[in-house]
Amino acid sequence: MTTSGKARTKGWRLVFERRTAPFIEPLMGYTGGDDTLTQVELSFPTLQSAIRYAERQGLTYMVQTPPPRQKTGNGRSQRADEKQAYVGKSTHAFSDATLDRLGLAALQETYGRALDGAVNRNDPSGPESWTTPMKVISDPKLTLEAKRAILMNWAWTEYLIDQATNEGMPENDRPSRLYEVEQALLALEREVADDRDDSDTRKAA
């Protein structure tokens, strides 16, 4: 979940829309979620700097302006000092570019369908649910489409956080795992190709 800034904070926050539906914890009754990207908040001094960042990353964004000033009981004007720039998903463009770079451009439509179905499947978050990307591949409970979507969304999350670090935001400073996720994507597709070859061999025999 995301939180608003302090009462006197000025500037713009960039937050990300939820990619998976929230859930109700059955015992405690609170609302939870496993989408780690919603926990990422980037701060910018001006709206222009927030928009420039979003456009550099190819993000679809929506700007939410502060509410109009309201009179309080003592006649003084008040309004929210912190404005928000909401950024939506742009995973399909990232997915296409990543697959092209990895030599898997033929699978762009396949991954697009997998990403579209992620919400209906309620796919869990990769970094919250598995210690390494390779463990997504070996999870027997996941369908092939779910594995593809989880890994690509994980790669997208890593990319955005890495870009924020490169923009000089120390709160996001940590070792990159993007290469690790990309290697898992390649391993998954090698496994799929090997299974297909084995099936064709059995049919030929």
DSSP string of 12-57, one letter each residue: EEEEE--SS--EE-TTT--EE---GGGG-EEEESSHHHHHHHHHHT
Vertex 154: Cα angle to 56 and 158 (nearest 5): 45
Does the pTM surpass 0.75? The reply is no
The two tokens of residue 2 are: 């995301």
Length of the chain: 205
Q: What's the total number of domains in the chain? A: 1
pLDDT value at position 104?
Answer: 96
pLDDT at 128 over 50: yes
**Domain annotation covers residue 5:** no
* pLDDT confidence tier of residue 39, bands split at 50, 70 and 90: low
pLDDT of residue 3: 31
Residue 6 lies in a domain: no
- Enclosing domain of residue 141: 11-204
Confidence of residue 132 (pLDDT cuts 50, 70, 90): very high
Q: In which band, very low, low, confident or very high, does the pLDDT at 150 lie, cut at 50, 70 and 90?
A: very high
Average pLDDT on 162-189 reads 81
Residues whose CB is less than 8 angstroms from the CB of residue 112 and which lie 6 or more positions away in sequence, other chains included: 92, 95, 96
Torsion angles phi and psi, residue 63, rounded to 5: -95, 125
> Which has more pLDDT, 16 or 118?
118
C-beta neighbour count of 8 within 10 angstroms: 7
Percent of the chain with pLDDT over 70: 56
71 within domain boundaries: yes
Examine residue 3 and state whether it is found in any structural domain, yes or no: no
**pLDDT confidence of residue 148:** 97
Residue 190 lies in a domain: yes
195, pLDDT greater than 90? no
Residue ranges of alpha helices (H) inside 80-143 are 91-101, 108-116, 118-121, 126-129, 134-137
